[in-house]
Structure formats: structure tokens, C-alpha cells
Structure 1
């Protein structure tokens, strides 16, 4: 069994089961025994916990992550550090990962994809504004509820997964399918790296396949740095063109050419949702037809970079350095691979590159010469294919595309202006200048009128918050969610955030508290179970648990009674009280009345015996004074056999009165067997009325016969 199971971290977080394993940390389901709620605990693995530099940075980062509080980010409740264990306590999510959902659906509808990506971008915006960069955005790190709500996990952990001195051959590399080019090179990364990963995820959602995929993780990383992906619409023609442009812009190789913030990407998504035919100009016209483009191209047309075992062990000097490959080990689904070190193979890259360079220069010279020849005739006049540049200022960007198909009109920038939204207010080539078919024209497009700041409406009643937002010319959309910290019907967040600048008429998503989440649960029978097991289950339900102790012969901690009966349905915010055994036999009194026989006489005592040991002896009971005598026996136990013995104090004779089953906890008894009259008779305790003995008949005395002899005495007296 996992050695962490059953542990109590900080005396509060009790580990129940392992629910996830990653390259750097293990995730457990646990219970906060103080708040009686289910949580998740991420515990760092030993090899990372013993790295002092890593620990220092992890502590600092963990404190920063704890400040993130957003509906689309998994909450961090606590962090803990000791000499032996380092952990993060976070919200427990009962759902599936976005990866599981994507694998099941294969290709998502564009509406579902936009719904998910928008929530991810909101979470990233919140984090980026607070200086936190995720660095490991991928479907495995996105949790999804059944209602489609998204929660982003694992902020700030993956960025520390790279260990100094390790190379691609020294240690396994995790999932690199979503890694940005600069991250693969080992360069400093920022918010734009996360946006690249979002672009890759959006690509996969809409096409059902990753932009770069092979069995070799190192090769995938190199592809992100150098290769160009197939345009999404070539894989799935049902993808709206503006959404393809958004993917292209998010996945630019150069970070400076990408979206700079999550807000920028969300604005383009909002523009697309408002106008499905909008054109952003991120994909040039040549990109739709040519295989080799600046941004994307068909995989089959792109220069193929292959790596055998020896090639990536010893890369050319002017390509990537294997030490630069970002080690993305914090991945629930990573697959380890090991390569035996082999002798380095001499690279042919430099001579090949030199040959290619010469060929490219020759082709370029030939192309320029041909171009000059086509543009100018022999007398130095312009070719008839050239035409005058029209005035685009004031035109709608999409209308300009339709009106001048011979021009490649691209957006240079979008800015606030007095012009209506999507109107062109600047062009790179002045009106009237000569231009050729397909020539690129850079334009600046209006975002509309001046922005307004979103007012801070947190802790306002939702109706008041709506009035304040509408007063600023903003639209309001409410989303109701459970919140343990904010009262019901009060606002706990907005999207965009308070004080952020938005266009008038923008829709503000207002998050309104539904109070603590309550649901009905059907009560189980916990009698006979250990109280700790019951607390775990009740904590999962959200019940508040109270206990009261009672002496009992049951093992300590055993539940004797529960206040909510089995099968009863109660709200999850209810309180249940358990009566729990102390493990001590209950002590109490049992009162008994003994009725002496009517002819009982004398002085007596009654003694109670439990298991042969006297536990009680009454005071002297006089049968001559009262025939009804109350005896109170004190003892322990709930089903104890007690023997009552009668003693006659006049002769010390004893006899058993009877045997009784006593419950000292409840103060009750029942008779097993009893014979009071026999007991008193045995000890000579009954009065017997005295009687005269019978007189025996006797014969009368016999009569003596008369004689003639003189009486001697008379004679004697005479003689005298």
C-alpha cells in the first residue's frame, strides 16, 4: 500500500487514496478533518524534495499560486513544507480531463472549441496579470464538469521540472505536443508561451490531430522550433476561416508575432463570434495556395526533418542544443523512453547547408532579374500589369478585400479611433502609387470608439451590479455558481475583470453566488462503524459532523447511534450527530424491590454478586419492620448476570434469592430465576407459632391391702 495513505498532514489533511501519478508529484484524494470537506493533495516526489534549489523556488512559487482565485482555476487552499514532505492542498474536482473529452469526441464543433478555449484564456489572463505563467498548458491539465465549465490545474509547477545539467538522453521527456518553440529551446518563457499552447490545443480540437506528432519526443520538440504545420482547414474544411486565422496567429514561431496577451486572443474570438465572416489578415493569400509559407504549410510539402538514434544524440552546431529541450516531466500521461548512448555520428548538415545556400542565391538572382525585366520595358516605362493604388481609408476591412481582390491586404495593427469598428484608417502604400497584382498592403483597422473601464461590482447584489454596468454602456450576462465565501445573490467576480478597459457595448460576464452548494443525500447506516470512516463519507457529502461520547463495551470509536436515520434524505449542508463509544463499560444503578414472605422475621442483608465477586451489599433489612424492601445495585455493563444472596444475621445462614439480567446503562433488569420463600425457609427466617406438648395418660396408684401388724412408729412413741 502507498505509504502516504492514512497520513494526516499538519494534523488536518487525512490522505484517503491515490488518484493521480505524475513525473514530479503524486495527487491524492484527502479529507480536511477541520472543515469536513474533500480535497486533493499534491505531494512532491522524494527526488525533487531533496533538491534545495528546487525547494526554494517551489516555496516561493507556491505562495504566488495561492493568490490565484478565479472560477476557471482550480483553487489552492494551502501549502505545506517540512523536512520530509512538501505538499499543496487544492480543490477536489469530480470530473474528467479535457483530454478524455477530446479523445471521446475526436473532432469538436467550433462552438464547443471556442467555449472551452475562452474559459482557458480567462484563467490565463487572471494568472498572467499576477505574474504567473503556466508553462504546461495541455488537455491533461484541464478539468471539465458535466455542464461544460472548465478548470485549469497545475499552475506554476511544470516550470520547475527542468533539472540543471540534464539532457534529452539523460532523462525521459514528457508530453511535448503542446510546447512552444522558445520553451523547447530552453529560452526564457512568458505569457506568450501559454498562448502558443492554447493555439495547439485549438488546432487539435478542430482537426482531431496534433500539428506535430511522431514517436520521438525530441523530434516533436524540434518540429515546434523549425517545422510548419498543415493549415487546419486542409484537414477539416468545416473550420471557419477566421478561426483558422486565430490558430495561425497564436502558433507563430516568433513570440513577438503572436498574440501578446490572452485579452487580445479573446477579442479576436469575440469579433469572430459577432461576425463569422470577419477577416483578420493573419493568413496571406499566398498561404492559401502555396505549400511553403511563412506561417503554416501542408506537412507533406514542408521540408522533412528526421532523426534517427544517432542524429538527435549529436545535433548540428547550428541547430538546436539537446540541453535546450524543455523537460516537461510533470505530465499525468507521460511515457518514459530510454536511449542507450551511442558514438556520435559526424553531421553532414554544414556541407548540405552550404550547398543549399548557393542554390538559393542563384535562384534569387534569377528571380530578381526576371522581375526587373517584367516590370520595366526596354525604354524604362512601367509594365502594363501595374495599376494605381486605390484609397482604402474609410472602407470596411472585409469590403476592401472583396473590392480589390488583386491586392493582398493585411492588418498591421488594430487601434481605437473615431471611425466605426473594422474601418481602415491608414494604409502603407499612398493612394495613386503604382502597385502590382498580389502586392502586400499593410492597413490599420479601427477597433471602434474609446474604451470604458469595467466598474468594480464585487459583493454588490447582482441587480445593482447589472444597473451599474449598463450605465457604462455595457451588456450584462449572468452566470450563477456555488460559492462558499460569498452570500447568495452577491457578485463574486466579473469577466473581464474590474477596471479593465473594454469597448462600449461589450458583454460583461457577471458571476453571481448561489451560496454554498447544497444537494440532497440519502443517509446510510453508520451504527457499528468507526467514527473516522463515517466522517470521511460525511465530509464527501458536505455534512457537518458532531459527536457525543457514551460509555459502552463496544470498541472505542464505534458508533452506537446516529441522529439521522438510515434512508432519510437530507440537504448536504445538514448536521449529523453520532453517539460514539468510549470503550468503557457503562456504570449505573438498577433498583429492585424484594417482597419478603408475610411470616418472615429477623434481620437480613442482601448481597449482589457479579462473576463471583460481591459488587453490592444492602444495609440491614428488618423483616419485622417492613416486608417490602428497596435494593439499589450499582455496576457496569448492559447485559450482566447478577446473583442476589440472602443472609440471616441471627444465624449467618445464606441462600440464593435468584439470578437477574441487569442493564446498568439503562437501569433495567429481568428475572432469570427466583425463589424468595425457599431462601427464607432455608436460612430459618420464617416465624413459627409455638404449641404445648401433648400429655400422655397415666394409670392410678395401686391400693395396698390392710394388715394386722402394729405400726412401728406408733409403737415406738408409746414406749417412750
Structure 2
């Protein structure tokens, strides 16, 4: 039975404006309908929240956040939001209607994509995400279901329901992480935090799936998949599918680095790297219509009315009737008529000759000549050729990325076409590539620096971070190439952003007396927090461990924790990996430990523990469990 027949919204008008036509899709939060905006007479997608969720404030807030997040973005690769509101117990969003399918359906039909085709598709996804990242938004739920491919080849990113401001995303509540486990970054699984680099990781998984037709990790339970994302590197696509270029393997590896600092800073930086890899591959082996770069093809022009056919039949062939002349009598009238006929014939011959001469002058070699070949010549040589042909030269100048300065780009009329003698040929002479001077952006915020560079008709290719003792963290130090240098239009410029003062290395103090260890840390510019614990191997009063490994760099003033030995005893730590959280807490507390939980609550199981399973720790000390 077609369940859509029973849908009570079909045929109804929501908010007095949107007439529901058909049911398109249903999810855990809402149902999407095809509807008609009766006010503007256009087809839209109407997303209506499930009635049982409309009473939950958090669900409604998330639903409204989706509308606001997408509405903030003005990009052809983001599904547009037109309107949002509430009609009784119905909470709804009116959106752009995309007639097509999602990436999941495409991969289900196709299995996998070729390298060039996959890079072209992911480039469009990254362009949309880059717009979101520039606006300070993190999508947080990138997966094939949220990549829409219209029938005309356009690619659009949908469902910003989990999107949050980048500043808020760093402290996301764990109970709000609802994305699919297979696309979540390790830091999101471990700590419940995310920034733009979490979207970069998810897009790396999307690219892997496009190239191979499958996800990098599988398991019998979601906890097993999550564990592998945290503890294993994403395999190279070429290990699954032969023939994937090494540059594409490297791109996937960089995007899916388990350490967020090893990934590109945002979607724009990943897009720049992807475009470089795509250019190195050359054209696809076979043409594809998957992603049309020029937009939809124009509709064919309707032919104009055909000219009326010539008249046929007797009426068209019939000559005009002649009047009968009276019979002239006498020779003299006949001679006058003969003279008049000869004069008329002579006049007709003269007229024909003059007409022929005129036509010969207008259409023949005396009036017209052929335009010489000027394209590709220097301006001086082109002027000589035009003069030799008896033509004037009208010179116009334009920037050109492909033709050297001073050479003719094109001529009108073109070589071999007809031109009036003593006429004019118009040529466009190259001024060479347009060179843009890089503006001074040091001291600006990255967003302001990006705007200034784009206003100068250049683009920001990527951002790199560099330590600096004077410029505050987050401000732009400069550019590469440097300000004042010149580049061609739309060439990439690298932003160099300050990371603040260079961190100081942490001294090694384990095994040293507590007083000596504290002095070494304070002399290095760090602060110290001391705790005590039992130890069978470290003498009482000596440092058992330090919270930050020796040699690691920290900002001045950062606190380093020291554990000072109280002597034995130690207790073996139980193994709670993959246990339910409640069972793990009960087992650890029964062994005499305190328990501290970190991570998320998506699956309710333990992903890791510290100290590790099988190790020993002082009785009464704290065991940290990582939950997911």
C-alpha cells in the first residue's frame, strides 16, 4: 500500500500559502514534501517537523537553527531557505526544491566513481562548505545523504540542522552529537568537540567512498566503527581499487589525518589542494555528465515562422491580358512605332548595362577585398599587413592570459572574410596578463584580510600558522607572496596567521624530588599543580609523573601537573573497554577507584580508559574513561 495516500497533509495549504503536492522523503526529525508556493507560483520543498517533536524545545531549536544557518549562506552550492514558520502544531521550513537524487543513491547505482569524476563532485561540495566556513559555520553532519545532485548536474549541500558557529562548536554538548558515526572525526568521538577540520575529515571520508564504493571502516557494532576511527588511519583508496593515483591517496590521507592539526584548516584550504591534484590528472578518460560545469543548457530556440511558399497553379502562371490594338493604316505610323521600339530597347540595354556595372562595383573585386591574417602577429607587423591590403587598423587593447603582450588576439573581420576596400579592420591587441599588486593585510583578522585580497581580484588559497613573539594569536602576519608583489588575476595567495609566542619546552622532572621539579618548571615559565599518589617504584617525595610530556611545547604560564609519590601500594586496573558506561563505573568503583568520564554519550559504551586496562594505579586514585 502506498503510505503517502494516508498522509493527512497531502492537498492541504500550510500557513495559507504552501499547497502540499506529494511526499518526497521522511527522516527522524521531519518529512519533506513537494509543494507549490501559491503566492509566487513556484515549486518548493516544504520540510515539516514530526508533530511529536514539535513540543520539544531542543528539537524545535535545532530545526529553526537549520533554517537560520542555511539562510545566512548565499552560495549556489547550498540549498536555499526561503521561509520558516509555525502553523498551529506544524513547524516548517520552505526550501529550494532540488529535482534529482543524493550521493548515496548515485553510489548505490554506480558503485564508485573515477578519480577525476570524484574530484569534480567533491570540489563542488567543498566550494559550498568553504562558504559556510567563511561565514563561521561548521556543518558537523556531512554524509552522502546531505549531498544532493540535481538532474541538471548541479551539486548542493543540504541539512544544516547540526550547524553551529565555529566558536560554539568547540564546546558542543555531547548529547547534541547526532551525525553518523562513519563520518565523525576522532576528536568529535573522543571529546565531543568540532571545528571546520571536522567537516574536512568527513569530506575526506566522502571522497574515499566515491573512489572505492565503500566506507573505510566497518564493524558489527557502531562502537567498533568508532573505535577504528579513533585508533586507525584511513587506508589509501588504491588499496581497495587499483589505479587510484598516488596524489589522490595523499589528498585523502591529509584530509582524514586523525590529528586535527595535520588536516587542512578548512574546506577552502582542502579545495585548493584538491584543485591542484585535479589539474595534475588532466581530463577524464571518458566525458561525464555527472557534474555540469556550465550550468543547465539553454532551452532550444523555437524556430520562427516558415516563409510562405510561392504561389502555384494556374493563377500564378497566368500572364496579364493585353488589350487589342486597332489596326494602323499607312507606312508612316508604322515607322514611328518602329523608332519608338528601337529607342525603348536601347534604353533597356543601357539600363541593364548600368545596373550590371553597379552590381559589379558593389559585389565584385573592385569594391571588396579579403581581410588579411592578423591574429598572432605583433601590432607593428599587423599594421604593415593592413596597409599593404589598403586597409586602416582600429586597435583596441585587452588583458589576456594566453596571448603575449603586443600580439593580436583576434581581428574583425577575421582572416579571409570580405571587407570594403579602404575599409577598417578592428584588432584586439593583448596587454598581457592582468597583474594585481598584493595588498597589505598584516595586523588584520583573517576574514578581513581575505575580503581585502578578494577585492583586489585575487583569492586566498590557504592559511598557514606561524609563531610570533609580538603579533597576537589569530592576527595576520603577512602573505606569501609578500605584500607589494604582483600576481595574475585570481591567483592564490597564502595567508600567514600568527600562532602567538612560541611555546616553551617542558623540562623532564619525573623521578626528581618535588621541590627540585617545581623549581625547574617555574624557571621555564610554567606553573605547577602537585598531587600525591601511592607508588611501588618511585621513592616517597619524588615525582611519579608529569601531566605534560617532557619536550612538549606549552604557552608561558600554562599549568603542569605533578604526581608526587606517597609510596606503595598499587592496585591493578580492571579492563572496562567496550563495557556499558554504568557497568564500567561500577567495576572500577568496586576495585577502589574513582571514575572520571570524558567524551560523548552517543552509544553509551567505553571507548578507552586511563590508566589503561591491565596497568596498576594507587587505590583511591582516579580512572578516566573515554565514552562514546
**TM-score range, shorter-chain basis?**
0.3 to 0.5
User: Structure 1 length as normaliser, TM-score?
Assistant: 0.38
**Higher CA-based Rg:** 1
Flag the structure with higher helix content. Answer: 2
**TM-score calculated relative to the size of structure 2:** 0.43
